[in-house]
Structure 1
Amino acid sequence: MKKAVIMGASSGIGREVALLLCQAGWHIGIAARRLDALHDIQAKYPAQVTISQIDVTTMDAPILLTRLVEEMGGIDLYVHVSGVGKQNPMLEQSIETATVDTNVSGFTRLIDTMFHLMEHQRYGHIAIVSSIAGTKGLGPAPSYSATKAYQATYIQALEQLAHSRRLPITFTDIRPGFVDTPLLSGGRYPMLMDKERVARAIVRNILARRHIVVIDWRYAVLTFFWRLIPNFIWRRMKLTR
């Protein structure tokens, strides 16, 4: 039985990915800050699910993740979905700091932990859910777009590092557009996508061992043209009302 750990499985995309892998017969470890939501998934698939309460921003998160993998008897796939982000055009410091703590510091600790675990076992697949927001610096959400750019660059660097050291580790960077999840509650977003459909696309592309995936085709077109916009024009664009 294939084994996967989903970090950030209590709601949204992470929860849907966990359910899809269970339906496909995987043994999964699910982790998040809220245990109640994890117990709900475990109740549906008691023979396939191992749970752990992990807050990615705490210093003991790597230890808890390692224990979860050991309890499962190894790992084939790690999916990092955990993340936060808000529009913050007024640059409220607490929002910026909390975003960096989760999306950069916590992300780095756990991705590095998983890299070393897979290095030791000599196989594995690391997948992250970043965002199209990392394509350009977005004025309404400075820390969110910057931290998502960091995640994409970090995974690219680790992929090169693994290749240079001849480590059989696969990497996948999933970049969704706006998805209808609790993360986006309270805002108005164009081209909002259904989380179940997005989760199916994520699992499909992970199993196909794709390296970089933009979900969906509309956002692939959008980000393609974003990259073509010169900086002197981009800095003058108004993205807020």
Structure 2
Amino acid sequence: MKRAIVVGASSGIGLEVARLLKKEGWHVGVAARRTDMLSEFDCFKKIDVTDEHADSLLFELIEDLGGMDLYFHASAIGHQNRQLDDRVELDTVYTNCIGFTRMIGAAYRYFLSHGGGHIAAISSIAGTKGLGPAPSYSASKSYQATYLQALEQLSNKNHLNIRFTDIRPGFVGTALIDDGNSYPIVLDKFKVAKDIVRSINKKRHVRIIDWRWRVLTKLWRLIPNFVWRRLPL
């Protein structure tokens, strides 16, 4: 039986992906800071990715599950922060950069010593360009995408059997954007979760969800930086 760990599964995309994997026959272990929604799964554990011992807790969850073939990382925070509140900016870095690095690195080292596996993670289309309303969030998502790409290059160089899938959704209707601000082209979390599971099964390297965001991000990349810096987002 295939075994998957989903970190960041207390709600939103992470929870729906975990449910779909379970429906497909995966043996699923889940983790999050809040565990009230996790008892429906085979194994669960309270893990805060910003905790310096979070990687050890991940290894405990893997042992409880009996192994791991897929690590899926959905843990993230993000806010518009036009006033550049320092707490918001730093909390975003701690979760989306430091916590992300800690957990993805732990999964990589596990697969390194167990013959390989699959690492999938949600970055975002927000990492395509620096977004003025959400500086730390867009920067952290660019970091995540670059980190995954670098690890895939490292894995290939060393002929390791570790696959990677970088999931880049547009705005998704979850609590993450339930902040009173308006967002364009908001995606349904259930459809996004189905797309993610399909992308994992097809072993895609990068998946931008959905087609409208694929078009928009291509256009964003064509905009010269001297123009982008002046856009009133």
| TM-score, scaled relative to structure 2 | 0.99
Aligned pair 1:228/2:222, yes or no? yes
Aligned-partner residue type, residue 145 of structure 2:
A
State the match for 2:67 in structure 1.
74
Q: What corresponds to 1:9 in structure 2?
A: 9
Partner of 1:45 in structure 2? none
1:55-81 CA deviation, whole Å, 9 max, x = no partner?
000011000001111111111100000
Residue type of the alignment partner of 1:147: S
Q: Structure 1: where are the runs of 5+ without partners? A: 43-48
Q: How does 1:155-174 map to 2 (within 5 A)?
A: 155-174=148-167
- 1:89-128, Cα deviation, whole Å (9 max, x unpaired): 1100000000000000000011110000000001100000
Shift in Å, 1:190: 1.1
Q: Distance in 2 between matches of 1:223 and 1:88?
A: 22
Question: Which among 212, 217, 229 is matched to residue 206 of structure 2?
Answer: 212
Q: 1:84, CA displacement in angstroms?
A: 0.2
Partner of 1:25: 25
What amino acid does structure 2 have at the position aligned with 1:20?
L
Task: Say which SS state the counterpart of residue 18 (structure 1) adopts.
Answer: helix
1:182-234 deviation per Cα after TM superposition (whole angstroms, max 9, x unaligned) = 00002211111100000000000111000000000000000000000000100
Give the distance between the partners of 1:233 and 1:129, measured in 2 at CA.
28
Q: How many residues align?
A: 232
Q: C-alpha separation between the residues in 1 aligned to 2:153 and 2:191? A: 31
> Which amino acid counterpart does residue 191 of structure 1 have in structure 2?
I
SS at match of 1:236: coil
Q: CA RMSD in A?
A: 0.6
User: Match of 2:145?
Assistant: 152
Which letter maps to 1:18? Answer: A
Letter aligned with residue 222 of structure 2: L
Distance 2:188 2:21 in 1: 18
Overall identity of the aligned pairs, in %: 56
- Partner residue, 1:51: 44
How many angstroms apart in 1 are the aligned matches of 2:26 and 2:104? Answer: 21
Distance 1:35 1:152 in 2: 28
Which amino acid in structure 1 is aligned with residue 175 of structure 2?
A: P
